[in-house]
Structures are given as C-alpha cells and as structure tokens.
Structure 1
Amino acid sequence: MSPALTLWIKGVGLWAPGAPTWDAFRALVAENGQPGATERPAASVLPPNERRRAPESVLLAATAAGQAVSMAGLDAAHVPCVFASAHGDQAITDYMCTTLATAPGELSPTKFHNSVHNAPAGYWTIATHCHASSSAVCGGEASFGAGLLEAATLAIADERDVLLASYDIAGSGPLGDMTTSTGPFAGALVLSPRADGALARLQLSPEPGNVGDESIGEGWLDAIMTSNPSARGLPLLLALARRKTTALRVAAADGLDLHLDVEFAP
C-alpha cells in the first residue's frame, strides 16, 4: 500500500433524485426510507438572475458545494475549489453539436458560454467572490476519484481547506447512447489538513489496478450509483451519513484506485 494522505472531512453536500440536501439524505439513510419527489437544485448561493439562466450542471454543482461549505462554517471566498465531472453539461453539448451541424448562425451566445467544462467553477467563484485557486477536472468514469485525489493533494500541499464538488447530468441525444450517465447527481466535500471541527478522518492512498464498483445492496442507492459517474462517490457519502468506519476503493483513473479509510471518533 502506498503512503497515505491523512485529511479530515469538515463539510458534506449532496443533491440526488429524491434527496435534495445532505440532511435529507442522512434522514433517508437513518430511517431506511425511500426517496420522495425530486426537487430542482436550489443553488441558493447563486444570485436569482444567475439561478434562472444557469444550466442544470451548474445548479447541481453549486447546490452541493454550498451545502458543504456552509456545514464547514467557512467563507467560500477564501476556499480553493476543485470541480469534477465526467461529461460536463451533456444537454448543452448536444445542443451545440446539433446547432453547428444544422444552423450555425443560430448558436446561442449564452449556451456557448455555458458549454465549457469549467462553467460551474466560474459561476461558483463569481457568486462567492472567490479569489482562491479553482480547477476543473475530468477523468471519465473515474472523475469523482480524480477530483478527490486532486483536492486531497492540494489540501496537504498548501495546508488549506479545499472544496471538492463532483457532478454530472443525464446524457442527451447521441451522447445519451454513448455515456453511462442517465440521471443527475452531485456530491461535495470540504477536505482539511486539520482535525478541528471535523466530521471524520480520511486516509487516502493510491493503489494500482481497478477493483470495480461494488453494489451498495440497497435498490435506490445502487440505481443512483449506476446512473451517474459522479455517484461513484456514494459509498463514501453513505459511510459519512452512517458514521461508519469503513475501508473503500474508488477509481481515480484507468489502472489506478484510491484506497480510502474513513474513521470516526468513538
């Protein structure tokens, strides 16, 4: 096993179908309940005008990120951030390709603006007046793990709290047939090199090989995990919700896993 990075998790955020907040997700898990009606991502950190025009991918990322930073009790203006996504906004990508192929003169400047992979990071940093570093990470189906490794390394190297937000939406058009993303999901963590006020300790070590995704064993959670690349982080989020000391493996690249040890105080 490679030497482990030791970090602490200080904030968590989540938006899932039928569980629009981290607190709602924790309640469902505690009660062995079933998800309710799906609500639009609140994205309350964004100004009203931005919320109205922002695409689904931005709303998802901002919703989860806002929850995590609020839970950590931090000022987002000073928190470096990493936004991870396997496919970005597939609906806009499909629109762009269709329009360019059929009527390129009708391309919407707003849609073009929102098509770039770092659009959620841009909306977030502008809305929160964040001047700390921001990154947009893509690692295909392993994007959650790739983003987690990036955020963890940054937190240790710079000795700063770091926000990770991972999000994806359903595929549209031909992309719907080419990708594994069939539904929306976003999860977020605030990682810290310091233990004060932390929810849990996380030890992370890169390991060669990919062991593959394991079933959670609960129908609605397994359905979410298989519907969205960013939901590969659900086993970690589930361990945090249950406050359960757990060992996990999460893919971070082709041929590379992260071994995760999640620990809680007695």
Structure 2
Amino acid sequence: MTYLKSSPAQTLTAFVDGVGLLGPGLVSWAQGREQFKGSAPYQPVRCVLPAPMALPQAERRRAGAVVKVALGVSEEAIAASGLEAASLISVFSSSSGDAVNCHEICSALASSDRLISPTRFHNSVHNAASGYWSISSSSMASSSVLCARDASFAAGLLEAMTLVATEQIPVLLVAYDTDYPEPLHSTRPIPDTFGLALVLAPCRSERSQAQWTLEPGDCLTALPADRLADAALEKMRTDIPAARCLPLLWSTARQRSSRVVLDYLEGLQLTLQVAP
C-alpha cells in the first residue's frame, strides 16, 4: 500500500460493470440498490445463503458459509457484466475467512478426540473460497487472496483497481465476512454474513454503472469515513468489516458524482471519486 503514497503512478480508474450483493436484509444488488436509493425500506433480517449450485455435487456438500456467500455474489456480478467467468482474474478479500470452520477445528482440538476431518482441514486455508471459485468457473486465471483485518475491503479494492489499471483487463473483486460462533464471537463479534462482488473494467461499456477513481497522493487521507443516515445500515457498516463498502454502494446506487471516504487503516482512510 506504500506504493500509492511514494510513486508518481497513474490515476487508477475503474468502471463498475457488475455488482453482486448479499447480507442481512440484502438478497441482491437489484434489491439493495432500491433500498440505497430510498425507493424501498431496509429491513435488517438474517442473511440467507444460497446453495452453490455451480459446484459439482461433492464440492457442494463440503462448502461452508464463506464459499456460499463468495460464489453467490460472484455469480450475480459476473452475470450483470456479461463477461465469461473463466476469463477474469480475481481478488478475494476477507477479514477472517471461514469463521465457522475455524470454530469447529478449535472445538475438535479442545476435545479428547483431536482428529480433524480432511474437509475441515482443506476449508481452513484463507484461499478456500478462491479455490472453490476456480472449480465452479473452470477459471485458470490468476487470483490474489488478501486479509487486512477490518481494512480488508479497502485493501482488496486497492489491489483490484491497481490490476485493472496495470493489466488493462476486467478484474473480479470479492469481499466477504462470516460470523464466529461462541466463544470466539465474544472476541470477534461479527453479527452475520456479508458479501460483495464487483466486476471492475478499464473502459466504459453499455453495462457500466459507475466510474470510480483513485488519485495517487490524494486517495489516502485522515478524514473520517463516511457514515450512512440509515441507522440499521450504519450499524451493519461498522459491525461487519466487508460492509465498510456500503457508502460506496450507496453513492453508486444514487448515481451521484461525489467523493466517498472509506474506512481503511487506523488514522488513514481511502478516498474515491465516484461518477455516474
């Protein structure tokens, strides 16, 4: 991330050609967009995870919440973009990975029988969702997997927009978090599952929904992050790290030219310019 502060690199610009959204009270980008525009009320209800039908049956049985949310939002975003899934390079970003699987492994290790199933073991790695994605999409394109705790969404966005600018090809960004059961929940109190997928492209197309721009030297700021007027949405933004994206989605849904400040590192926020 020091690259953006120290290098006279080009402006990073990306066009949003597809969005996938899933979270508490959010079943899709189409529905969420209407809520962000004020056309429909937001009702905070438990997130419902879709079955990962794109996976073969054996892998589908092994898929946990992280895989379900990551694949669900990815499929929605890619369908909106009109691109071939297998052609997209990708960036996956999560603050915690598979929280439920972590809980089950810790429970097994704390028991008298410390054997861990192979399924639990291979789902424990942070790039599990990316691996399942490559299976479901038959993709052999490169994939980056990031973790920056509460800054994970902003870190993933920086990575994806840098790839769009340097490679001049569309990039899939997937950000997601799931909730820990107790007793880990008391230490890491993420209340529910949230996922966002974006297909970011280097050029405007008929499917583009917004233009996002990062200016080197101006994108990292000490300004406070933008807050949401809706109390329930604001609580979700602060409670779930991946939901730090909500001010950006709110501005994109309303088709306004604006500056959006997102939570990033402590004392250092990420600023984007948004245009319809």
Query: Would the TM-score normalized by the shorter structure come out above 0.5?
Result: yes
Q: 3-state SS of the aligned residue for 1:177?
A: helix
Q: Is the counterpart of residue 28 in structure 1 residue 35 in structure 2?
A: yes
Q: Is the counterpart of residue 202 in structure 1 residue 212 in structure 2?
A: yes
**Percent of aligned positions with the same letter in both sequences?**
37
Q: Is the counterpart of residue 226 in structure 1 residue 235 in structure 2?
A: no
CA distance in 2, matches of 1:212, 1:67: 31
Displacement after TM superposition at 1:97 (Å)? 1.8
Moved more, 37-46 or 73-82: 37-46
CA contact (8 A) 1:8 1:199 kept: yes
Q: 3-state SS of the aligned residue for 1:244?
A: coil
Q: How many equivalent pairs are there? A: 264
Q: Is the counterpart of residue 243 in structure 1 residue 240 in structure 2?
A: no
CA contact (8 A) 1:44 1:63 kept: no
CA distance in 2, matches of 1:73, 1:204: 25
In structure 2, runs of 5+ residues without a counterpart are none
Q: Is the counterpart of residue 86 in structure 1 residue 95 in structure 2?
A: yes
Q: 3-state SS of the aligned residue for 2:110?
A: helix
CA RMSD of aligned residues (A): 2.1
Displacement after TM superposition at 1:169 (Å)? 0.6
* Deviation sequence 1:62-110 (CA, Å, 0-9, x none): 1111111111101010100000000111111121122123245431110
Q: Is the counterpart of residue 176 in structure 1 residue 188 in structure 2?
A: no
Q: Is the counterpart of residue 119 in structure 1 residue 136 in structure 2?
A: no
Q: Give runs of aligned pairs for residues 1-266 of structure 1, distance below 5 A.
A: 4-30=11-37, 31-35=39-43, 38-103=47-112, 105-197=114-206, 198-205=208-215, 207-264=219-276
- The AA in structure 2 aligned to 1:200 is A
- The AA in structure 2 aligned to 1:202 is W
Task: Summarize the Cα distance change of 1:157–1:71 in structure 2 as closer, same or farther, 3 Å threshold.
Answer: same
Displacement after TM superposition at 1:212 (Å)? 4.1
TM-score normalised over the length of structure 1: 0.91
TM-score normalised over the length of structure 2: 0.88
CA distance in 1, matches of 2:270, 2:72: 26
Task: Summarize the Cα distance change of 1:47–1:27 in structure 2 as closer, same or farther, 3 Å threshold.
Answer: farther
CA distance in 1, matches of 2:153, 2:265: 10
Task: Summarize the Cα distance change of 1:227–1:49 in structure 2 as closer, same or farther, 3 Å threshold.
Answer: farther
* Deviation sequence 1:175-213 (CA, Å, 0-9, x none): 212224221100111111111232111101354454444
CA contact (8 A) 1:18 1:36 kept: yes
CA contact (8 A) 1:43 1:66 kept: no
Displacement after TM superposition at 1:217 (Å)? 1.0
